[in-house]
Amino acid sequence: MSGTFLGMPGNFPKNAEKAVQDSQLRFNLRKATHTIRGKRASVVDELPDWQELRAAGKAIKDETLRHLDRYLVQLEDAVTGAGGHVHWARDAAEANRIVTGLVKATGESEVVKVKSMATQEIGLNEALAEHGITAYETDLAELIVQLGDDFPSHILVPAIHRNRAEIREIFLDKMAETPEGLTDEPAALAEAARLHLRERFLRSKVAISGANFMVAETGTLVVLESEGNGRMCLTLPETLISVVGIEKLLPSWRDLEVFLQLLPRSSTGERMNPYTSMWTGATEGQDFHLVLLDNGRTDVLADEVGRQALRCIRCSACLNVCPVYERAGGHAYGSVYPGPIGAILTPQLRGMGSELDASLPYASSLCGACYDVCPVAIDIPEVLVDLRAKAPHGRAERAGMRVAGWVLGNEVRLAKAQRLATRFRKLVPRRLPGPLSAWTDTRDLPEIPEESFRDWWERHERP
């Protein structure tokens, strides 16, 4: 990839403005999100106890987060007891340093990768490249993104912004060898990727993965996938390194039962995903290292409203129903986590120090569709509103809010302001001046009535 999302310039409205002018992108996004959301809705409707399942998922995650310190130590003991090695990484730099050191110690200069959001979050591929180590993505969509020197734009379908013809062009351009007469049929493209990856699977001695879940009681890691490429990475190489966010923990196998129902139905719209790989510690012929990643998660946990974002199981259901994501696309969010979950997770993990991160809590119409579909009931609108209050505001906006608070906080002042507005209603401009025009350019100012309701009530109803 050409770079990481970290430190990307711009802000959400500017990025989105570019995206909405791209009709091809809008067509691709609409087609893909509507197909997946339809599939999700039909398999969710099959389960009469979906809401109970959802409540159970929420309760398990909340309980785990409440006692995260205890469960993490339990996990560490279990992994170590099963012959694995556990490393703790406070931030991206530390995680990258640990993984780079581990790969270097094997003497290898190539690794194969299982699709992983955590490694994208820390910019691992770029960190490895700085030390002369090449990382090969093996998930088909991640491979398309990597070959296209591009950024992922969806959690589940990272190349959602590309259509078949574009993918064929990327393959012809970037793959050393492609089958003769390669067409843009999905089967032909998958076969070309299979041939391209097969040789890498057989050659690579080191693999890097993330995990969907970690079971504290046994130290077991779990990866759910559709292609089987993940399983090739997890089983063939001599060294396996897994980088996993500390919130991916579940206390017991029994809890896993709930999430193995919630995740596939919410993400791919399947009753069960085709491949579920589980492993515990080192196995014969394979060293295992687990890197537990904090990178801002402890700070999120400390926030009473925002901590619910740590329940997220990265299913992407919220992206597929979001009217803002559907039009703006994933790149506008400037983060590996796009859509509604990105709008609440990125500003919490990275802080709101940059223009881009401070703009993300506003990347929503607060319609609430994301909350309705979330399998772990994260109240995304609630967190968005809370983050908006915490986001940095300009001097003019702060002054405006103070004046509004002064007027709206007192009945007499409000009545006077309303009378003043009705008296001078003809003078109120349809377009506000200066920077305020950004508001009126995209919205109609409400008509000011000849008489306020308060005055009408005085005349008609008061004895």
In the chain the first and final C-alpha atoms are separated, in Å, by 74
Q: Which of the residues 427 through 456 are near ligand SF4 (CB under 6 A)?
A: none
Distance between CA atoms of residues 393 and 84, nearest Å: 48
313 near ligand SF4, judged by CB under 6 A: yes
Stretch binding ligand SF4 (CB under 6 A), from 77-85, 120-128, 252-260, 312-320: 312-320
Query: Shortest gap between Cβ of 438 and ligand SF4 (angstroms)?
Result: 29
CB of 145 to ligand SF4, least distance (A): 19
Classify strands 220-225 and 287-293 as parallel, antiparallel or unpaired. unpaired
Q: Which listed range, 139-147, 252-260, 311-319, 429-437, lies at the site for ligand SF4 (CB under 6 A)? A: 311-319
What residue has token string 């703790």? 88
**Is 315 one of the binding residues for ligand SF4 (CB under 6 A)?**
yes
Beta-ladder partners of 245: 293
How large is the angle between the packed helices 50-66 and 253-267, nearest 10 degrees?
120
What is the identity of the amino acid at 431?
R
Binding span for ligand SF4 by CB under 6 A among 207-215, 375-383, 391-399, 428-436: 375-383
Q: Is 316 in the site for ligand SF4 (CB under 6 A)?
A: yes
Q: How far is CA 135 from CA 153, 192, 371, 372, 453, in A?
A: 20, 19, 36, 37, 66
Span interacting with ligand SF4, options 92-100, 110-118, 315-323, 438-446, rule CB under 6 A: 315-323
Q: What does the block give as tokens for 370? A: 């994301």
For residue 311, the minimal CB distance to ligand SF4 (Å) is 7
Q: How far is CA 91 from CA 82, 96, 299, in A?
A: 26, 9, 12
Place of tokens 């409400």: 446
State how far the Cα of 80 lies from the Cα of 66, in Å rounded to an integer: 24
- Pick the piece of the chain touching ligand SF4 (CB under 6 A) from 106-114, 281-289, 294-302, 310-318: 310-318
- Residues β-bridged to residue 276: 224
Q: Given candidates 162, 168, 314, 331, which one binds ligand SF4 under the rule CB under 6 A? A: 314
At residue 460, the 3 state secondary structure works out as: helix
**Does 153 participate in binding ligand SF4 (rule CB under 6 A)?**
no
Contact flag: residue 232 with ligand SF4 (CB under 6 A): no
- Strand (E) positions, 311-421? none
From 78, 312, 369, 387, residue interacting with ligand SF4 (rule: CB under 6 A): 312
Strands of 347-414 (E only): list them: none
Binding flags for ligand SF4, 329-348, as an x/- string (CB under 6 A): ------------x-------
Tell me: does residue 318 bind ligand SF4 (CB under 6 A): yes
User: x/- binding map, residues 250-269, to ligand SF4, per CB under 6 A?
Assistant: ----------------x---
Q: Shortest gap between Cβ of 330 and ligand SF4 (angstroms)?
A: 12
- Selected range binding ligand SF4 among 114-122, 137-145, 275-283, 308-316, rule: CB under 6 A: 308-316
Q: Is 375 a residue that touches ligand SF4 (CB under 6 A)?
A: yes
Q: Are strands 110-113 and 249-250 parallel, antiparallel or unpaired?
A: unpaired
Phi-psi region of 374 (alpha: psi -120 to 50; beta: other; left: phi over 0): beta
Q: Which of 192, 250, 378, 384 binds ligand SF4 (CB under 6 A)?
A: 378
Total residues at the site for ligand SF4 (CB under 6 A)?
Answer: 14
Pairing of strands 249-250, 206-209: unpaired
Contacting range for ligand SF4; rule: CB under 6 A; set: 170-178, 200-208, 370-378, 441-449: 370-378
Between residues 347 and 375, which has the closer beta carbon with respect to ligand SF4? 375
Position 4 contacts ligand SF4 (CB under 6 A): no
Torsion of the alpha carbons at 397, 400, 402 and 406, rounded to the nearest 10: -160
Interface with ligand SF4 by CB under 6 A: which residues? 266, 312-318, 341, 373-376, 378
